[in-house]
Amino acid sequence: MSFVFDKGVNGQRTILASFSECTYRNTHFGDYVEVVLKMYPARAFMALIEYTIDVTNGG
């Protein structure tokens, strides 16, 4: 999983992330999700899925 931080639209915080398909296959645009990071194992962050991009591994 990799993350890129961006200020996003109207100065809101945006995190771009990469997940395996099985991790997010039942999520859709507009869904709220909980994200737990290894850096903060005791915290769950609420996030809104603004968009997804379907990509495949070239290998």
Q: How far apart are CA 40 and CA 29, in angstroms?
A: 25
Tally of structural domains, the chain: 1
Contact 28, 49 (CB under 8 A): yes
| Residue 15, in any domain of the structure | yes
Please tell me whether the overall predicted TM-score, pTM, comes out greater than 0.75 for this model: no
Domain that holds residue 25: 3-48
User: What is the Cα–Cα distance from 42 to 53, expressed in whole angstroms?
Assistant: 29
Has residue 55 been placed in a domain? Answer: no
pLDDT digits (tens, 9 = 90+) for 13-42: 777 777 777 777 788 889 998 888 888 889
> Is position 56 within any domain?
no
The structure tokens 């994200």 sit at: 35
Is 14 among the domain residues? yes
pLDDT at 56 over 70: no
Residue 32 in any domain: the answer is yes
Q: Hey, CA dihedral for 44, 12, 4, 27, is it positive or negative?
A: positive
Banded pLDDT at 43 (limits 50, 70, 90): very high
